[in-house]
Amino acid sequence: MLRQIFFSKTQPTRSRRLVFRETEQSLSQALNDAKEEAVELPVDLVRSGNKLILKTPIVGAGIHDIDVTINANQIIINKSGIQESTADNEQIYLQECHWGALNRTIDLPKSIDPDKTKASLHEGVLTIVMPIVVKSHTKSIKIQE
pLDDT (tens digit per residue) in 92-102: 888 777 777 88
125 and 55 in a common domain: yes
**Has residue 141 been placed in a domain?**
no
Look up the domain containing 66 and give its range: 40-84+98-131
Helices (H) and strands (E) in the chain, counts: 2, 7
Summarize pLDDT for 14-38 with one digit per residue, the tens. 677 777 788 877 777 766 655 555 5
pLDDT at 77 exceeding the cut of 60 = yes
Structural domain tally of the chain?
A: 2
pTM of the model: 0.64
Band of the pLDDT at 115, cuts 50, 70, 90? Answer: very high
With CA atoms as reference, report the closest residue to 98 among 8, 32, 11, 143. 32
Q: Which pLDDT score is estimated for 19?
A: 78
Same domain, 69 and 106: yes
Identify whether 143 is part of a domain: no
Mean predicted confidence (pLDDT) in 44-60: 94
> Does any domain span residue 47?
yes
Mean pLDDT on 46-68: 92
Residues 14, 51: one domain?
no
- Kindly state whether residues 18 and 75 are assigned to the same domain: no
